[in-house]
Amino acid sequence: MNIIVCIKQTFDTEAKISLENGAVKEDGVQFILNPYDEYAVEEALKIKEEQGGEVTVVTVGPARVEEAIRTALAMGADEAIHIEDEAAYGDEYTIAEVLAAAIRQKSYDLILAGNQAVDDGSGQVAVRLAQLLDIAHISTITKLEIHGTQVVAERDAEGDTEIAEASLPVLVTAQQGLNEPRYPSLIGIRKASKKPLTKLTLADLGLSADAVGRKVTPVEVFLPAAKGAGRILEGDTAMRVQELVRELRQTSKVL
Amino acid sequence: MTSVNFDLSQEQSMIVKMVREFAEEEIAPKAAEVDRNARFPIETFEKLGELGLLGLPISEEYGGAGGDTISYALAVEEIGRACGSTGLSYAAHVSLGCGPLYYFGTEEQKKKYLTPLASGKALGSFGLTEPNAGSDAGGTQTRAVRDGDSYVINGSKSFITNAGYAKTIVVTAVVGKDERGKNRIGAFIVPTDTKGFSVVRTYEKMGLRGSNTVELSLEDVRVPAENLLGSESAGFKQFLYTLDGGRISIGALSVGLARAAYEAALQYAKERVQFGHTISKFQAIQFKLADMAMHIELARDMVLKAAWLKDQHRPFTKESAMAKLFASEICMRAADQAVQIHGGAGYVQDFPVERIMRDAKLMEIGEGTSEVQRLVIARQIGC
Ligand SMILES: Cc1cc2nc3c(=O)[nH]c(=O)nc-3n(C[C@H](O)[C@H](O)[C@H](O)COP(=O)(O)OP(=O)(O)OC[C@H]3O[C@@H](n4cnc5c(N)ncnc54)[C@H](O)[C@@H]3O)c2cc1C
C-alpha cells in the first residue's frame, strides 16, 4: 500500500496573532504540524503497520516547514517531498495544483490529509486535489477500514455519522476523533534527519508560475475587535429582553 | 568568528517539543495526585520508556537513544516543570542508575545490566548515601568482602531514589584500606532480587512525594565477582564523576521547577485584582517576577554550558557544581516568591505553588548540598 499524506505547517494553536503591514506577523511564532494532519499521519502509519507499505508526506512551504516534515518522519513516515518555491505559495487553487503535479509523479493507493488547516481553515485543498487527480474522496472521517481495495469510512456529518464506501485509490480527510496521534519517539526523532527528503520547485514539476497563480487575493486582513467587559442586564424578564434587543440594535448593530 | 551559538539543533528542538507535549498532557495532570497520595507513577515511567526517554543520553548499542547531554538536560527541565517528583525519579534513573554502568561498565556489564534500563524496560538506582555517610560519602560503612568467586556485601543505605522499583542498583562499599589507611571503595552491581537485599522503609517526605525514596538493608548480599564496577579502589572517583553528571540534571530539574513556579505566579498576578488593579501592575510584584525571569534564564544558560562541556568531553566539575548550586537556590527563591505572590492562595493546595515550594527544597540538598557545591567550587578555583 502506497500512502501519501498531505501536511501543512501551521501556527501553534496557542500562538498570539499580530498583524504587520496588513499581514499576519510570523516573527517569534511557534509553528506546529497542523493537528488535523497529525491525525492523517497517524492513520497512515497505522495502516502501514497493519498492511505494510510506504508512507510519503508531501508539503508546500518555505524552509521553515521542514520542521513539520521532520515531525512526520519522526512519527514514522518513510520519506518526504517538500515543494519549496515562492511561486507555489498562493491560494487553495495554487496549492492543490502544485500538490497534484507532485503526486502524479508517484504511484499511490491512498491519499490522506487533514480536513482543514487550523490557520486558514478553508478545508478546500484536499478535496480540490481529489478533483484534479480524478479520484473519489471522503471528507471529515472519524473511522477508516480498508479491505483489499474496498474502503469503508465513517464521516462526521454535523453530529451524525455517515458511512461511505469507495474503492482505492481514494483521498480521505481526517477529522478529530479518528485516532490518538502518537508522540514521535526519541529514536524516531534521531532517525528522521536521515530519511529521504526531496526538495522540488515548480520547474521540477513542469509547472509555470502563471499557470498556478492565485485566483483569490485577500483584500484586507484585520483582527477581531477586542472583547469589552460583559454587562449583566437587570430587571424582570420582559425588561431584560427589551434591553437586550435595544443593545443588539443600537450598540452592536447586529439586528 | 562565529563560535558562540545559542541555537538548538533541529533534533534538540524536536526532542524538547516532544517532551514538553508529553509532559503537559501525561505528566502534569497527575502531579497533584501523586504528591497527595505519595504514589510513584509507574505507568508514566512505562510510557517514558516506550518513547526512549529512559535512555536518552545512552548510546544505541545499549538500548539508549544516543542523544546528547543538552537534550537530556532540556528533557529533565520539561518533565520537572510538569511534576517535580517525576522529574527527580527520571533524573535519578538516567544519571545515577544508568550513569555508572555506562561510564564504567565492561562490555558484558553494559549489555547485561544497562540495556534493560536504557531501553526503558526497568528502572535503575544508585546507593551511595548511608546513615553515617552523607556529604562525607567517602565515609561509607557498608562492606564488601571477597569470598571465592563472589563478594558478600553488608550494610545499609539511606534516601535511595527509585530503589523500591529498581531492577538493578549500583552500591558503594568499602573493600579494604590502602597503604595510607584510607578506605578503598568499590562499586557493585546488585540485582534487587538478590537474597539479603531489602527495602526497610519508604520515607514520608516533605515534597517530591511521588518519587520513591527508600532505606535499604544489605545482609550477606552475595554477588559474583564480575559485578564489581572497575577496580576495587575505583568507587570513590566513580561516584564523584557520576555526581558531576547528576548535578547537571538536578540543575535542569531546578530550572523546570522554577519555571513552573514563575509561570503560575505570572498568570496569577495578571488575574488577581486588589486596590482596583491586577497585582501585576504593582511594581513590588513586577520586580519579583522580573527577578524570577532573569534567574531562570541565567540558571538555564549555566546548566546548558555544563551539559555542553560534558558533551565536548571537557572538564565540567566546576561548571556543573555552579549550575546545580545557582539553579537550586534560585529555584527555592522563585518558589518562595511565587507563594508570596499568591498570598493566602499560595499556602493552600488549590494552587500548584504550594507543592512546588515543598519540592524545591530538595534541590538544595540532593546530589550534594549547597554547602558541598561551594566546597567543590572552592577546590576547583584553587582554595
Ligand atoms: C529525596 C532524596 C533523594 C535522594 N536520593 C539519593 C539517591 O538516589 N542516592 C543516594 O546515594 N543518595 C540520595 N540522597 C541522599 C542525599 O544525597 C544526601 O541527603 C545529601 O548528600 C546530604 O547528606 P546528609 O543527608 O547525610 O546530610 P549531612 O551530610 O549530614 O549534612 C547536614 C548539613 O551539614 C552540612 N555539611 C556537611 N558537611 C559539611 C562541610 N564539610 N562543610 C559545611 N557544611 C557541611 C550539609 O551541607 C548540611 O547542611 C537523597 C536524599 C533525598 C532527601
DSSP one-letter string for B261-310: HHHHHHHHHHH-EETTEEGGGSHHHHHHHHHHHHHHHHHHHHHHHHHHHH
Name the phi and psi angles at B241, rounded to 5: -65, -45
The pLDDT assigned to B278 comes to: 97
The pLDDT assigned to A24 comes to: 86
Residue B11 is a catalytic residue? no
B66 and A193: CB-CB below 8 Å? Answer: no
What domains sit in chain B, N to C, each tagged with a CATH number?
10-123 (1.10.540.10), 125-232 (2.40.110.10), 237-380 (1.20.140.10)
Pocket test for ligand 1, best of B85, B129, B201, B257 (most atoms within 8 A of CB): B129
A186 and B53: CB-CB below 8 Å? Answer: yes
Nearest chain A residue (CA) to B68: A190
Nearest chain B residue (CA) to A184: B18
Burial, B151: exposed, middle or buried (Cβ in 10 Å; 0-12, 13-18, 19+)? buried
Domain ranges of chain A: 2-200, 227-255
Question: How does pLDDT run across B70-84, given as a tens digit for each residue?
Answer: 999 999 999 999 999
**Mean pLDDT, chain B, integer:** 97
Residue identified by cell 496557542 is A14
Residue identified by cell 462526521 is A156
Question: How does pLDDT run across B309-350, given as a tens digit for each residue?
Answer: 999 999 999 999 999 999 999 999 999 999 999 999 999 999
Name which residue sits closest to atom 43 of ligand 1, judged by CA.
Answer: B371
For residue A190, give the nearest of B22, B53, B65 by CB distance: B65
Name which residue sits closest to atom 50 of ligand 1, judged by CA.
Answer: B159
What mean pLDDT do residues B8-31 have? Answer: 95
**Residue A222 is placed in which grid cell?**
484585520
The pLDDT assigned to A159 comes to: 82
Angle separating helix axes B84-91 and B42-50, nearest 10 degrees: 60
Pocket test for ligand 1, best of B90, B206, B247, B369 (most atoms within 8 A of CB): B369
CB A6 within 8 A of CB A111: yes
From the CB of B74, is ligand 1 less than 6 Å away? no
From 3.30.413.10, 3.90.1150.10, 3.40.50.620, 3.20.20.70, which CATH number describes the A2-200 domain?
Answer: 3.40.50.620
Mutation target for B interface from A82, A186, A197: give the one with most B CBs within 10 A: A186
The residues with which A174 forms a beta bridge, in sequence order, are A114, A141
CB A165 within 8 A of CB A151: yes
From the CB of B213, is ligand 1 less than 6 Å away? yes
Name the phi and psi angles at B121, rounded to 5: -90, -20
Cα A77 to chain center, whole Å? Answer: 17
Question: What one-character DSSP code corresponds to residue B26?
Answer: I
**Whole-angstrom distance, CA of residue B299 vs CA of residue B305:** 10
Shortest CA gap B290–chain A (Å):
20
Residue B1 has pLDDT above 80, yes or no: no
From the CB of B285, is ligand 1 less than 6 Å away? no
Name which residue sits closest to atom 12 of ligand 1, judged by CA.
Answer: B129
What mean pLDDT do residues B203-219 have? Answer: 98
* Tens-digit pLDDT string for chain A (255 aa): 999 999 999 998 888 888 888 888 888 888 999 999 999 999 999 999 999 999 999 999 999 999 999 999 999 999 999 999 999 999 999 999 999 999 999 999 999 999 999 988 999 999 999 999 999 999 999 999 999 999 999 998 888 999 999 999 999 999 999 999 999 999 999 999 999 999 999 999 999 999 999 999 989 988 888 888 888 898 999 999 999 999 899 888 887
Shortest CA gap B51–chain A (Å):
4
**Whole-angstrom distance, CA of residue B229 vs CA of residue B242:** 13
From the CB of B129, is ligand 1 less than 6 Å away? yes
Alpha-carbon distance values, A144 to A40, A77, A150, A197, B90 (Å) = 11, 19, 11, 28, 38
CB B140 within 8 A of CB B133: yes
A187 and B21: CB-CB below 8 Å? Answer: no
Residues of B in contact with A38 (CB under 8 A): none
Name the phi and psi angles at B3, rounded to 5: -115, -30
Mutation target for A interface from B18, B25, B58, B61: give the one with most A CBs within 10 A: B18
From the CB of B83, is ligand 1 less than 6 Å away? no
- Whole-number Å distance, alpha carbon B235 to ligand 1 midpoint, is 18
Helix or strand or coil: residue A234? coil
H-assigned helices in chain B: 10-22, 31-36, 42-50, 69-82, 84-91, 99-104, 107-109, 115-118, 235-271, 283-311, 317-342, 344-347, 352-360, 370-380
Pocket test for ligand 1, best of B35, B135, B141 (most atoms within 8 A of CB): B135
pTM as predicted? 0.91
Q: Exactly one of B78, B130, B329, B367 is catalytic; name it.
A: B367
**Whole-angstrom distance, CA of residue B32 vs CA of residue B264:** 14
What mean pLDDT do residues B190-201 have? Answer: 98
Alpha-carbon distance values, B87 to A210, B255, B331, B341 (Å) = 55, 11, 14, 25
- Whole-number Å distance, alpha carbon B368 to ligand 1 midpoint, is 6
Residue B265 has pLDDT above 80, yes or no: yes
The pLDDT assigned to B261 comes to: 98
The pLDDT assigned to A255 comes to: 79
From the CB of B214, is ligand 1 less than 6 Å away? no
The pLDDT assigned to A23 comes to: 85
For residues A215, A220, A221, A222, the Cα torsion angle rounded to the nearest 10 degrees is: -160
Report which secondary-structure segment, H or E, holds B167. strand B166-177
Looking only at the bridges linking them, the beta strands covering A110-114 and B166-177 are: unpaired
A67 and B14: CB-CB below 8 Å? Answer: yes
Write b or e for each residue in B180-208: b if 16 or more Cβ atoms lie within 10 A of its Cβ, otherwise e: eeebbbbbbbbebebeebebeeeeebebb
